[in-house]
């Protein structure tokens, strides 16, 4: 009865949030339901034949969405927290939205992205068949602490994971490699040859790792994407990736490695990437430009490196920095992000800083070499977006933090430029 009551309450809250347009019901339903039945996720996840957990600082949503794409192309019925709500309440909300009042559902595969901290409490409840560790960078220091704190907690959690669970880790991140000593089962590694993102080392990487899944012969094609050769044991595949940036190659490797462990038809799936569309805000292409989520030094720097060579003098740049709980209340990370890489055509680019901490952004850009006279400060994101599109002849590059991205999504939906993110096809 308690589980039934929790599900019914969650469904009612979801109905109210959508009725009164308070959001997509990605967190509140689960929050209220868990107050009645704290074991809701544990009880309902057990009914899903296979579960995959994806965690890490950057790339969780892209990796999970791409794996879901592969699974659906293989005719599997998938459930996942596609809105990016990656705490336990988000998992609960997702499950509640798909089960009937008695908790019954028919899925072949659950794909769950988990926040770095939530992983420790939620992953054991999901009893995953496969866990993917993408990377570990400094992120929201006010919530997580330094890298070694996150790593230590992951190691403690891995000791509780059954040895038959398959573990995939980024073999190019020396910190992630430390997890191998904490797991009693078998771990496999993925990585990129030549073009590497090596992470923020707190440990010394003595030698090149032998990779089980590797990207070789990487060729970058600007904002159009990249090509590389995927090597899995004796299998070699040519991959045409429609997403730009080295960091997306890592996400793609993780998705293919996961698909391989799920016994999906790897060869055929390589061709399905041409129909893959990115998750909202993650290199999301709009008729007039792009949205690139930025949220920490490493991820932001990778975005800057990706877009800088592709900006032109008639392009506009809109950056939005918030300090809400979901963003991290400590915005000092912008001083570690290499905004200097973004200073391309800066003398001519129209630059607008927005969000709760727009002034902080403007100061950071000044020290990165941007001309302060060319920077407009407009804290109201809706107004900033309007100004950024005014007189636009080239492309508009929008770089928001998480809650600014959600606010922007709402503005785009209300103006008819796109659907709400929770209504988009997964």
CA dihedral 321, 327, 329, 331 (to 10 degrees): -40
DSSP state, 422?
Answer: G
Instruction: Read off the pLDDT of residues 324-373 as tens digits, 9 standing for 90 and up.
Output: 988 889 999 999 999 999 876 555 688 999 999 999 999 999 999 898 98
How much is the mean pLDDT over the chain? 90
pLDDT number for residue 33: 94
Here the contacts of 75-79 (C-beta below 8 Å, separation 24 or greater) are 76/108, 76/109, 77/106, 77/107, 77/108, 77/109, 78/107, 78/108, 78/109, 78/110, 78/111, 78/426, 79/48, 79/105, 79/107, 79/109, 79/110, 79/111
Consecutive H or E run containing 167: strand 166-170
pLDDT tens sequence across 371-420: 898 899 999 999 999 999 999 999 999 999 999 999 998 889 888 887 76
The pTM for the full model equals 0.92
- Is residue 165 pLDDT above 80, yes or no? yes
> Of the residues 142, 194, 330, 380, which is catalytic?
330
Domains of the chain: 2-209 (3.40.1190.10), 282-423 (3.90.190.20)
Q: Give the model's confidence band at 104: pLDDT under 50 very low, under 70 low, under 90 confident, else very high.
A: confident
pLDDT in tens, 3-17: 999 999 999 998 888
Residue 146: the pLDDT is 83
Judge whether 330 counts as a catalytic residue: yes
- Could you tell me which residue, 417 or 93, shows the higher pLDDT? 93
């Amino acid at each position: 009865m308690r589980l039934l009551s929790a599900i019914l309450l969650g469904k009612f809250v979801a109905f109210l949030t959508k009725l009164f347009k308070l959001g997509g019901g990605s967190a509140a339903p689960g929050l209220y339901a868990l107050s009645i039945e704290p074991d809701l996720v544990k009880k309902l996840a057990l009914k899903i034949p296979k579960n995959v957990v994806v965690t890490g600082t950057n790339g969780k949503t892209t990796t999970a969405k791409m794996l879901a794409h592969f699974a659906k192309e293989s005719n599997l019925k998938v459930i996942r927290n596609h809105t990016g709500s990656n705490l336990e309440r988000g998992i609960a909300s997702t499950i509640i939205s798909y089960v009937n009042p008695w908790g019954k559902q028919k899925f072949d595969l659950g794909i769950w992205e988990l926040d770095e901290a939530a992983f420790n409490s939620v992953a054991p409840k999901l009893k995953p068949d496969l866990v993917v560790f993408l990377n570990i960078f400094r992120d929201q220091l006010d919530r997580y602490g330094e890298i070694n704190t996150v790593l230590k907690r992951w190691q403690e959690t891995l000791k509780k994971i059954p040895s038959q669970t398959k573990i995939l880790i980024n073999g190019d991140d020396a910190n992630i490699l430390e997890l191998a000593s904490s797991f009693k089962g078998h771990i496999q590694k993925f990585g990129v040859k030549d073009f590497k993102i090596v992470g923020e080392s707190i440990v010394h990487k003595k030698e090149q790792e032998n990779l089980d899944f590797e990207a070789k012969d990487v060729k970058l094609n600007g904002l159009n994407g990249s090509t590389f050769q995927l090597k899995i044991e004796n299998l070699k595949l040519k991959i045409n990736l429609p997403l730009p940036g080295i960091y997306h190659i890592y996400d793609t490797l993780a998705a293919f490695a996961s698909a391989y462990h799920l016994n999906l038809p790897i060869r055929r799936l390589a061709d399905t990437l041409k129909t893959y569309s990115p998750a909202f805000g993650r290199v999301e292409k709009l008729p007039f430009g792009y949205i690139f989520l930025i949220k920490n030094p490493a991820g932001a720097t990778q975005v800057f490196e990706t877009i800088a060579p592709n900006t032109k003098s008639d392009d506009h740049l809109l950056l939005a920095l918030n300090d809400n709980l979901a963003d991290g209340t400590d915005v000092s990370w912008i001083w570690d992000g290499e905004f200097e890489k973004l200073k391309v055509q800066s003398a001519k680019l129209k630059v607008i800083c927005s969000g709760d901490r727009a002034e902080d952004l403007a100061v950071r850009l000044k020290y990165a070499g941007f001309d302060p006279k060319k920077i407009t400060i407009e804290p109201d994101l809706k107004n900033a977006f309007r100004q950024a599109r005014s007189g636009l002849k080239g492309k508009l590059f929008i770089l928001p933090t998480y809650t600014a991205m959600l606010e922007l999504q709402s503005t785009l939906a209300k103006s008819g430029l796109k659907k709400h993110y929770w209504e988009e096809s997964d």
